[in-house]
Amino acid sequence: MQTAKPIGICVGLDFPIPPKGAWYTSNHAGKFIGAAHRDLGAGLAALVFGLFWNSLLSIFTAFGLSATFHNLHISLPNWLPAFKFGVDSMDVPMTIYYWIFLLPFILVGLFCIGWFLSSMFGRTEVRVLNAAGTIFVGLGRFGYTRRFDASGVKNVLFRRVRSTEGSDTNVVVMMTSNGRRIKFGSMLTEERCRFMADSVQKLLVH
């Protein structure tokens, strides 16, 4: 039976100097290595595209709300514009079909909002406490967490992955003793992604 190796920041361990927007800390809750997603270029792109997309979407959403209120026999609220044409011809089945048709466009609009918030305020953080490891990606307390066995990590690498569209994405790849590959850091700049890969490598593989 394999004995789990102790996990911790050793005295004298040569960690890389964190770039701006990255950090490593240690307290009673564990060892934390993280970096902010903050990227003004990506945030600006998300903001411009999101404003354009959601401004157009708001017109179709308002029409759908008008049709919904009409079918429910509810008077329109003051903030909702009244459409003079088309609403009266929207019966219940057609209104339901309209919302189903509009749903993918609404999801794209929500994605743009999340993209902007993540680009400006999001973070990726690795937490290690004894042999328990977690990777958090999100905004504040909201996000998703993946768990991994820190004692089973054999190597940590920085990789640049080419997408089908031809763009490059930076990722950290953790390889475990059972052959599992855990990837994270795709929202980080190259400098922060490299820092996380080097720091996690020094923390877990020494």
Residue 14 lies in a domain: no
pLDDT band at 140 (very low <50, low <70, confident <90, very high): confident
Residue 28 and residue 53 in one domain = no
Of 119, 141, 176, at which residue does a domain stop? 119
Report the distance separating Cα 145 and Cα 111, nearest Å.
Answer: 19
* Closest C-alpha to 7, from 20, 26, 35, 22: 26
Residues 132 and 197 placed together within one structural domain of the fold: yes
Where in the sequence is the domain holding 71, given as residue range(s)? 41-119
Domain CATH number, residue 193: 2.30.29
Q: Is residue 164 part of a domain?
A: yes
The per-residue pLDDT for range 41-72, each reduced to its tens digit, is 889 999 999 999 999 999 999 888 888 888 88
pTM of the model: 0.74
| Structural domain total, the chain | 2
Is the pLDDT at 134 greater than 90, yes or no?
Answer: yes
Residue pLDDT, tens place only, 105-127? 999 999 999 999 999 999 999 99
3 within domain boundaries: no
From 70, 89, 119, the end of a domain falls on 119
Complete DSSP assignment for 42-87: HHHHHHHHHHHHHHHHHHHHHHHHHHHHHHTT-PPPTTSPPPSSSS
